Amino acid sequence: MCRKDVLQSELSFIFVIKGDYVQMNSLAVRSKVENQVATITLNRPEVKNALNKALLDELHDLLQSYDADDTVRVVVIQGCQGAFSAGADLKSIPIEDLQTFDYGTFLEETYNRLIRQIVSMKKPTVAHINGIAVGAGLSIALACDYRVASKNATLGLGFMKIGLVPDAGASYFLPRLIGLGNAMELALGKLLSAEEARQIQLVTQVEGLDLFLETVKSMPFTAFSLMKQNFHQSFQSSLHEVLQMEVDAQRKAGESKEHKAAIAAFLNMRK
């Protein structure tokens, strides 16, 4: 992505409140299931997939549905037409009520509900960052288990440019993923290329989405979901508590059909 395109994406994040955009599709997201992979595509190309309440609600409900769908092993979130998401659609804020608008309540009812859903998913979640991902758009990607970026992806926060703090879980995930120093620097508005993001472990890898999905799809469902739960809870737990969590999780994993099948296959190989 050239610098001009990046600047236009930043401006769409900051000033999407201006102009009269027309929703081109009846649904803010599109989805499909193919080869046990559910792909959810943010579908507001006219604003680089900026996030409004309709999109956030539809995304939440789809994630909830796919987590309960036995035919799905992995869930991918991506954007359409060369952008992941340009962040919050400020046009969705009622301008006539701006002086009394409660950002905290809006966060709790929209973004926070979505972030909790992503984190609670028992199945692996992969953000396919296929273009610009800034502000709350990046926050959604951070909440996923893995991030695979296209080589032309650009990542950043942008909140400070409009006098707001990083939200939608960015304050939680970012320092844990890249360290406090890198997080503080990124918060200043720095934009990262896909390769720069990989170097500081903000993204899992650059390109190679299909092969990565095959690897993730092959993971045992029970063990993965228990591992994910333990990893997240470990940040708020003592060593003693984590050891007990592992005991409980391993007991469940040891009873799973995936483990029993793996042991049986191993023993057959030794014969």
Query: Residue 9's pLDDT is what?
Result: 39
By residue range, what is the domain housing residue 235?
220-270
According to DSSP, the β-strands at 29-34 and 37-42 are antiparallel
pTM of the model: 0.84
DSSP character string of 176-242: HHH-HHHHHHHTTT--EEHHHHHHTTSSSEES-HHHHHHHHHTS-HHHHHHHHHHHHHHTTS-HHHH
CA-wise closest residue to 228 among 129, 168, 146, 131: 146
Amino acid (one-letter) located at 241: E
* Whole-number average pLDDT of the chain: 86
Query: Residue 98's pLDDT is what?
Result: 63
Does pLDDT of 270 surpass 70? no
Does pLDDT of 5 surpass 60? no
Distances 163 to 13, 160, 166, 252 between C-alpha atoms, Å:
13, 5, 10, 47
Domain boundary among 189, 216, 243: 216
Name the token pair of 23. Answer: 């929703």
Left, alpha or beta for 227 (phi > 0: left; psi -120 to 50: alpha)?
Answer: alpha
Q: pLDDT confidence of 255, banded at 50, 70, 90?
A: very high
Query: Residue 182's pLDDT is what?
Result: 95
Output the domain CATH number for residue 226: 1.10.12
Query: Residue 137's pLDDT is what?
Result: 95
Instruction: Find tokens 């006219």 and name the residue.
Output: 46
Q: Is there a single domain that holds both residue 88 and residue 183? A: yes
For the segment 223-230, the average pLDDT, to the nearest whole number, is 94
Does pLDDT of 195 surpass 80? yes
Instruction: Find tokens 């045992």 and name the residue.
Output: 220
Does pLDDT of 6 surpass 70? no
Residues 156, 160: Cα–Cα separation, whole Å? 11
Amino acid (one-letter) located at 87: G
Q: Is there a single domain that holds both residue 116 and residue 25? A: yes
Number of structural domains (the chain) is 2
DSSP state of 68: T
Name the token pair of 104. Answer: 């905290």
Domain boundary among 216, 236, 253: 216
Query: Residue 244's pLDDT is what?
Result: 96
At 171-191, the pLDDT tens digits run 999 999 999 999 999 999 889
Output the domain CATH number for residue 59: 3.90.226.10
Residues 109, 243: Cα–Cα separation, whole Å? 35
